Amino acid sequence: MRVGSPQHRDLFCRTFIETHRVFEPADLPWPQLEARHIDLLRAFPFWAFALSMEQEADRMIAAFARTIEDPLIREAVELQGAEEARHGRLLKTLFEQYGIAVAPLPPSTKPVGRDDFLDFGFSECTDSVIGFGGFALARQKQIFPPELLDIFEHVLYEEARHIVFFINWWRYEEAVAGRNNPLVRLANALKHSVRAVMHTAQGAQGAAVAPAALDLTGGGSQAILEGVSAKMFLEFALAENQRMMQRIDPRLLRPRIVPTLATAALLGLRMLPPREPVPSKELVAT
Ligand SMILES: [Fe+2]
Ligand SMILES: [Fe+2]
Tens digit of each residue's pLDDT (9 = 90 or more) over 2-41: 999 999 999 999 999 999 999 999 999 999 999 999 998 9
Give percent of the chain above pLDDT 70: 88
> What's the pLDDT score for residue 204?
59
Average pLDDT of the residues in 159-166: 97
Residues with Cβ within 8 Å of 96's Cβ and at least 6 positions away in sequence, in order, are none
Distance between CA 255 and CA 74 in Å, rounded? 21
More confident residue, 121 or 225: 121
- Kindly indicate the confidence band of residue 280, based on its pLDDT and cuts at 50, 70 and 90: low
The ligand minimizing its distance to the Cα of 128 is 2
Highest mean pLDDT among 64-78, 199-213, 264-278: 64-78
C-alpha closest to that of 107 among 207, 205, 211, 25: 207
- Kindly indicate the confidence band of residue 212, based on its pLDDT and cuts at 50, 70 and 90: very low
Average pLDDT of the residues in 226-238: 88
Are 102 and 51 in contact, with CB atoms under 8 Å apart? yes
Q: Residue 159 C-alpha to ligand 2 middle, in angstroms?
A: 5
Q: Residue 119 C-alpha to ligand 2 middle, in angstroms?
A: 12
More confident residue, 282 or 71: 71
> What's the pLDDT score for residue 273?
77
Say if residue 277's pLDDT is above 70.
Answer: no
Average pLDDT of the residues in 187-215: 67
> What's the pLDDT score for residue 176?
96
> What's the pLDDT score for residue 269?
87
- Kindly indicate the confidence band of residue 279, based on its pLDDT and cuts at 50, 70 and 90: low
Q: Residue 158 C-alpha to ligand 1 middle, in angstroms?
A: 8
Alpha helices in the chain (DSSP H): 6-18, 35-42, 47-65, 71-98, 114-141, 146-176, 182-206, 210-215, 219-225, 230-245, 257-271
Residues with CB under 5 A from ligand 1 (ion): 84, 87
Q: Residue 124 C-alpha to ligand 1 middle, in angstroms?
A: 8
Q: Residue 211 C-alpha to ligand 2 middle, in angstroms?
A: 24
- Kindly indicate the confidence band of residue 224, based on its pLDDT and cuts at 50, 70 and 90: confident
Supply the mean pLDDT for the chain. Answer: 88
Say if residue 194's pLDDT is above 80.
Answer: yes
> What's the pLDDT score for residue 281?
52
Q: Residue 156 C-alpha to ligand 2 middle, in angstroms?
A: 9
> What does the domain layout of the chain look like in residue ranges?
6-22+35-271
C-alpha closest to that of 14 among 83, 86, 79: 79
Average pLDDT of the residues in 199-206: 65
Distance of CA 132 to the CA centre of its chain: 8
The ligand minimizing its distance to the Cα of 61 is 2
Q: Is 211 left (phi over 0), alpha (psi -120 to 50) or beta?
A: alpha
CATH 1.20.1260 fits 6-22+35-271, yes or no: yes
> What's the pLDDT score for residue 209?
47
Are 213 and 204 in contact, with CB atoms under 8 Å apart? yes
Say if residue 59's pLDDT is above 90.
Answer: yes
